Amino acid sequence: MKSLRIFVICLLLFQVSPVTAASSSPQPGYTIKTTYLYGRAMQSSPILKTLRTNVPVRYTTYNRSWSNVYIGNTKYFTPSANLKAGIPKMPSADRLRLVNKANGLPSTYRSPQLVTLTIPTVYQKGSERTLMTAEAAYALAKLYYAGRKQGHTLYALSAYRSYSTQKSLYAYYVNTRGVAYASKYVARPGHSEHQTGLAVDMTSQRMRLGLYESFDRSPEGKWMLQNAHLYGFIVRYPKGKEKITGYNYEPWHLRYVGVTEATMMKQKNWAFEEWWSRR
Ligand SMILES: [Zn+2]
């Protein structure tokens, strides 16, 4: 099967509309501090809003000591010191969790750290498919901006998928293509990496925002496959590892594991299962 028609199926199923979301101004960033949001860049200005701890925000620098924080379309001011706490890190057991045909997730599993991606997404922001855990979303933004610098614009197609979404997706494939096909391309509910909030399917305009094996020969895909590990991502279903991963080659599916682990897997040419069996 040279090319996949997943995108067409997605179109039929979910009425995807392409959106270019990330403008040049807001930076990808997340705060973990309680943050006071002001109407103006002055301590004497009344506090308009107080954010809870762990609320992720998009922000951009206003001047040396103040930043703008965007909540929906509203712009607030906050002391930049409030934004230096960085992103919430997840425990390594979660970050390195092995999810495959043999290892599943409970149907109720949903990371408490899901945030909306700040990079361009194929689905409208607001769709669960534009969510990832904060640490992975931040790493993906860094990958995206590094690619942009080299002239490659990547899009995120499908990131988080809940158990129930996966259930309907799997049922759709079984009904339309049969069990044998479905088992090669679509995970059973509870066995999809997308439910971890750490996986994302990437594409580009050249791929007409769809998922095709030829992505690995496109400039964007080539760049992504060569550099993803520098940002903590592995190409989860590599070519030649189908028997180990249980899935056909998917050059578009990235999984966040962290820079150290991703670099090791890239250097040793290990699939995630091989890394796990050698820990
Ligand atoms: Zn995927």
**Residue pLDDT, tens place only, 230-245:** 999 999 999 999 999 9
At residue 7, the pLDDT reads: 43
Residues 64 and 160 reside in one and the same domain:
no
Whether residue 218 sits in one domain with residue 105: yes
- Say how many Å lie between the CA of residue 83 and the centre of ligand 1: 32
59/77 same-domain check: yes
Compute the distance from residue 37 Cα to the ligand 1 centre, in Å: 37
> What count of Cα atoms within 13 Å lies in the side-chain half-sphere of residue 116?
17
Do 71 and 199 share a domain, yes or no? no
Tokens of 141: 């933004």
Residue of 194, 191, 196, 189 lying closest to 169 (CA atoms)? 189
Answer yes or no: do 199 and 110 share one domain: yes
pTM for the model: 0.75
Tokens encoding 73: 């379309």
Q: Are 213 and 248 in contact (CB under 8 A)?
A: no
Same domain, 75 and 192: no
pLDDT digits (tens, 9 = 90+) for 31-67: 556 678 999 999 899 999 987 665 667 777 788 888 8
The average confidence (pLDDT) of the chain is 86
Name the residue range of residue 155's domain: 6-22+88-277
Could you tell me which of 185, 193, 132 has the C-alpha nearest to residue 163? 193
Task: Judge if 65 and 138 occupy the same domain.
Answer: no
Query: pLDDT class for 76, splitting at 50, 70, 90?
Result: very high
pLDDT score recorded for residue 29: 54
CA–centroid distance, 182 to ligand 1, in Å, is 13
Tell whether 30 is covered by a domain: no
Residues 161 and 55 in one domain: no
- Residues 138, 249, single domain; the answer is yes
Known catalytic membership, residue 250: yes
Say how many Å lie between the CA of residue 10 and the centre of ligand 1.
Answer: 13
CB 34 within 8 A of CB 41: no
Annotated catalytic residue within 135, 220, 250, 261: 250
The conformation of residue 153, written as its DSSP 8-state character, comes to -
One-letter amino acid identity for 108?
T
Residues 160 and 265 in one domain: yes
What pairs with residue 2 in β-bridges? none
Tens-digit pLDDT profile for residues 100-123: 999 999 999 998 888 888 889 999
Number of domains in the chain: 2
